[in-house]
Amino acid sequence: MSVTPPGEARPQTADPHRWWGLVIIALAQLMVVLDATIVNIALPSAQRELGMSDGNRQWVITAYTLAFGGLLLLGGRVADLVGRKRTFVIGLIGFAGASALGGAAVGPGMLFGARALQGVFAALLAPSALSLLTTTFTDPKERGKAFGIYGALAGSGSAIGFIVGGLLTEYLDWRWCLYVNVPIAAVAVFGALALLHDRPGHAGARLDVPGAVLGCGGLVAIVYGFSEAQPRGWTDPLVLGLLGGGVALLAVFVWWQTRAPMPLLPLHIIRDRDRAGCFLTMGLAVIGMFGLFLFMTYYLQGILQYSPVRTGLAFLPLTVAIVIGSTQISARLLSRVQPRMLMAPGMVLAAGGMLLLTRMTVDSSYTTDILPALILMGLGMGLTFMPVFSTATAGVAPQDSGVTSATVNTSQQVGGSIGTALLNTIATTSSSAYIAAHLSNPARKAQVVAEGTVHGYTVAIWWAAGIMLLAGVVAATMVTAKPPPKQGAHARQAVPESVA
């Protein structure tokens, strides 16, 4: 019988159901990630049925990402305090209820509120899922496989959302883009109760309420400010006030965390160079990726006249490439090379795919012009996501695993929100300037508008490619972690080789 070394959580015996538990964790994470994009293709149908204005329709997306990104740190700390499995189940049940409410929406306000409520429960669900994964797979060999699967889902979930959203919208109804979460969550709840194990939360511990208000308020203000930059402009007083106020709140939050008796975000987590590099790499990478999803959706439907289903399926090669890059390349190499040797080349590869897309025109072919770029993007993101998740959560004390997991997810959600607002503003401005400069013949108005729209997309994609390259520089210079240790004697006792 193996003896538990001091400080380790559960090393004596490998959980015989841990791989089925991974299925449940991955299912929940996939639901949370794809819900950020599944309603994109359904949005025109929902807008017509519920009578949303063009100015308000963005809140179907923004309400979710605001609540999700702004409350993730609090959700991570709740998972540490009350128990990860309990928080996981509560998050699943609440997410299903909010989804059903949104599917039954009779007006825009009801849908916006339901989407925000989804974000609240996603903020509980996502960090508890990742921390359960972290504490379930402690053996280095199995950990690489588990994080490869998790990273593939985290990276491809948004693209899968487009495919599922297109199918549900075209063949059923836009409301099923929300109703579909109910049976998925039900399966995950029963699976979690039967298969997942966790120690109880820290009795007697308290939430850092001032830290929660300052940190969540700052993040919400910044994400809200970026989302409002598109319709209002970057110099609008409200936008500047939100961004400045958000930065000020976060500065006060950092100051308070040095004095709080039980801080919401222990600063030693972000002082660690490797973790800080992973958080920043993730945020920058997702800025470019979410911008790509936005532009390609409008390009395929608006310029190439694809149907919702065909648009969703057009993203399938990207999804497959992410899965291959994560599970077949990164997961196999992470034990042999430094994480940055995967992350930095991955970002360069993804940037290369972006640069290919800068050549697209109103007459581009999907097969020859779009498909190669999507494959390069997917492989690059797959190479990056898996080592980011694994490195950011490695070596974290059990009581901090929830908040560390939440910080990874926060960088992902906030990066996506910033990317959507920033790149869309760049695209819109560039398109308007192009159309104004070239619209000399009224008979060519439709052609000039289409060309101007694509020009705006390509300008924004140039910016996205630059941000991807910056992510590669961050990964190469900040993440200095060595490869995870090989399976040692203790791990061999804890985990039978036949299972691995």
129's tokens: 């899922």
- Between CA 129 and CA 93 the distance in angstroms is 14
203 pLDDT tier (thresholds 50, 70, 90)? low
Structure tokens belonging to residue 106: 């009779």
CA distance 50 to 402: 38
pLDDT at 367 over 80: yes
Quick one: average pLDDT of 124-132?
79
132 — pLDDT class (breaks 50, 70, 90)? confident
CA–CA gap between residue 153 and residue 331 (Å, rounded): 13
What is the Rg, in whole angstroms, of the alpha carbon atoms belonging to the chain? 22
97 pLDDT higher than 90: yes
Looking at residue 466, its pLDDT comes to 92
Please write the tens of the pLDDT for every residue from 38-94. Answer: 777 777 778 778 887 655 666 787 788 778 877 877 787 787 777 778 888 899 999
Q: What is the percentage of the chain residues whose pLDDT exceeds 70?
A: 83
- Of 340, 338, 296, 324, the C-alpha closest to 159 is 296
In this model, does residue 139 exceed pLDDT 50? yes
pLDDT at 110: 92
**Which two tokens mark 363?**
């007459």
Ordered DSSP codes for 458-490: HHHHHHHHHHHHHHHHHHHHH--PPPPPPP-HH
pLDDT at 336: 81
The DSSP code sequence of 158-173 is: HHHHHHHHHHHHHHT-
- Write down how long the chain is: 500
Beta-carbon contacts of 443 under 8 Å, excluding residues fewer than 6 positions away, are: none
Host H or E run for residue 121? helix 108-136
Confidence (pTM): 0.74
Q: What is the dihedral of CA 166, 114, 213, 36, to 10 degrees?
A: 0
Are 296 and 162 in contact by the 8 Å Cβ rule? The answer is no
Q: Give residue-wise pLDDT tens across range 228-251.
A: 776 777 788 998 999 899 999 989
